[in-house]
Amino acid sequence: EAVRGVSFEVKKGEVLGFLGPNGAGKSTTMRMITGFLPPTAGTARIQGFDIQDDPVAAKQRLGYLPENAPAYSDMTVTSFLRFIASVRGWKGRGAQSRVDEIIERCSLTGVRHRSIDTLSKGYRQRVCFAQSILHDPPVLIMDEPTDGLDPNQKHIVRTMIREMAREK
C-alpha cells in the first residue's frame, strides 16, 4: 500500500502542505485527489463533487500542478497557454485576455514568444504553474511548486500562493 488511512478537509483560505520523506505517498495522495490515479478504496471530494463519481465537475474546480509537470515543449509559452485556455473553454478575446493576464501574473512576459524547450527549468515550472491557475480554479493542488526555482522565484511563487489562498 502506498497510502492508507488518510483523511483531511481543507477549507477556503487554508493552505495545507504534505511533509514526509521520499516514498511516503505525498505525490500518490495528490494524484488520487485529482483523479489521475484511482484509489483502491475511499474517495476524494472537490467542493462536494466526488472525483470518481463526477470527475468532470470535480476537475472543473481544480487546478493541478504535478511534479515534473508536462508541457508541449515545441510550443511557445503563449501558444501553449492559449491551447490550455481553449481546453478549459475560453474563446476569442476572452481567452487572449486571460492568457495575457496569467503571463503577466506569473512573470513570463519576457519569454512569452519563446518555445518551452528553450526555457530554463525555473521558467518551465512557471509555465506549468500558469496553466494550473489559468481557469481560476477555486481549489489548487501543487506538487513541489517551487522545485527548480531560484530563491527569488521561490519567494514570488510562495507570495502568489499566499495571495491566492485568501480566495481558494
Q: Please report the pLDDT score of residue 66 as a whole number.
A: 87
Contact between 131 and 85 (Cβ < 8 Å): no
How far apart (Å, rounded) are the C-alpha atoms in residues 81 and 102? 9
Displacement of CA 69 from its chain's centroid (Å): 9
Q: Please report the pLDDT score of residue 149 as a whole number.
A: 79
Q: Please report the pLDDT score of residue 166 as a whole number.
A: 85
pTM: 0.84
Q: Please report the pLDDT score of residue 84 as a whole number.
A: 93
pLDDT tens for each residue of 114-140 = 999 999 888 888 899 899 999 999 999
Low-confidence ranges of the chain (pLDDT < 70): none
Angle at 15 between CA 96 and CA 71, to 5 degrees: 40
Q: Please report the pLDDT score of residue 157 as a whole number.
A: 81
Which amino acid belongs to residue 71? A
How far apart (Å, rounded) are the C-alpha atoms in residues 160 and 125? 14
How far apart (Å, rounded) are the C-alpha atoms in residues 58 and 111? 32
